[in-house]
Amino acid sequence: MLEINAAGLHYRALNERIREAAAKGEKEIRVKGVNGQYYIGAGLRGGAVITLEGTPGNDLAAFMDGPTIIIKANGQDNICNTMNAGKVVIDGNAGDVLGYGMRGGRLHVRGDVGYRVGIHMKGVKKQSPTIVVGGTAGDFFGEYMAGGVMILLGLNSKDGAPLAGDYLGTGMHGGAIYVRGEVDKKYCGAEVGITGLDDEDNAALKEALTEYCKDMNLPLDEIMKKPFKKLYPASLRPYGNLYAY
């Protein structure tokens, strides 16, 4: 295990040290004294597990391709921007625009997330990103979603309280959003359909939540007891006729 002290380091210096360690084949990296450094783990490849102590800055794990980053605090904005593979686990809350254009890998958040989470998320065949949020989400959850899976659990929410904000799934044209509880159509984008889960959905949900619950040390069975709703794109090409006049 390698330990790096990030206190006072600019992100460029910090990332250089992380990349250097990963290139040498270091499997476990612990970074202490993180506060506000942007782009940690950006573009990083390989399979290292990086644990951060402190509050990392924006664009954590942008373009990341393989490693696992564990954050023992809250995350800020733009985490997993265009991430390709790997995993980010956040023990606290996280900010806005998480998983922007994310194309693979996992983002696990224990607490609440902000606005525009999963915007433009995409997936093709086996390449499918997953975002699991333990708490609640702000407006525009899954906006313009094109692929992958988003799961919203609302673990500390009161029964009946909305788990997501307004404009849920607006512009969605691929992928699936699973919400643990009821979803009010009036808060959803026009392109979204709401349904119960079939066997295939349940299998996908269980698979995603098994890993999430392991990371967060949560009881899977209990979480699965409450019924979920699935949000899906009502049309694959909602604007296919927009210019076909």
Partner 1 sequence: MNHDYHKDISGCGLTGLISKKKRRVSGREIVKSLCLMTDRGNGLGAGYAAYGIYPEFKDCYALHVMYDDPEVRWSVEDHLKANYKVEKIEEIPTSPVKAIPISPLLMRYFVSPLKDKLAGETAADDFVVNTVMKVNSEIGGAYIFSSGKNMGAFKGVGNPSDIAEFFRIDEYEGWTWTAHTRFPTNTPGWWGGAHPFTLLDWSIVHNGEISSYGINKRYLEMYGYKLTLLTDTEAAAYMLDLLIRRHGLDISTACQALASPFWKAIDGMNEGERDALTALRQTYGSALLNGPFSILFGHGGGLVGINDRIKLRPLVAASKDDVVYMASEESAIRTICPSPDKVWAPRAAEPVIVEFE
Q: Which stretch binds partner 1 (CB under 8 A): 48-56, 99-107, 214-222, 230-238?
A: 48-56
Site string for partner 1, 178-207 (x = CB under 8 A): ------------------------------
To partner 1, the closest distance from the beta carbon of 76 in angstroms equals 6
Kindly provide the residue ranges of all beta strands, DSSP E only, lying in the chain, ordered along the sequence: 2-5, 28-35, 49-55, 65-71, 85-90, 106-109, 130-133, 146-152, 174-179, 192-195, 229-233
Residue 96 in contact with partner 1, rule: CB under 8 A: yes
Residue 10 class from Cβ within 10 Å (0-12 exposed, 13-18 middle, 19+ buried)?
A: exposed
Q: Which residues pair with 109 in a beta bridge?
A: 90, 133
Q: Given candidates 4, 29, 31, 58, which one binds partner 1 under the rule CB under 8 A? A: 58
Distance of CA 148 to the CA centre of its chain: 10
Amino acid, res. 198: D
Q: Which stretch binds partner 1 (CB under 8 A): 91-99, 175-183, 203-211, 233-241?
A: 91-99
Q: Which stretch binds partner 1 (CB under 8 A): 42-50, 62-70, 110-118, 176-184?
A: 110-118
Residue 112 in contact with partner 1, rule: CB under 8 A: yes
Q: What's the angle, vertex CA 204, arms to CA 46 and CA 138, rounded to 5?
A: 80
Find, among 64, 54, 58, the residue nearest to 38 by Cα: 58
Q: Given candidates 63, 100, 115, 141, which one binds partner 1 under the rule CB under 8 A? A: 115
**How many residues lie near partner 1 (CB under 8 A)?**
23
Which residues contact partner 1 (rule: CB under 8 A)? 10-11, 35-36, 38, 54-58, 74, 76-77, 93, 95-96, 112, 114-115, 138-140, 165
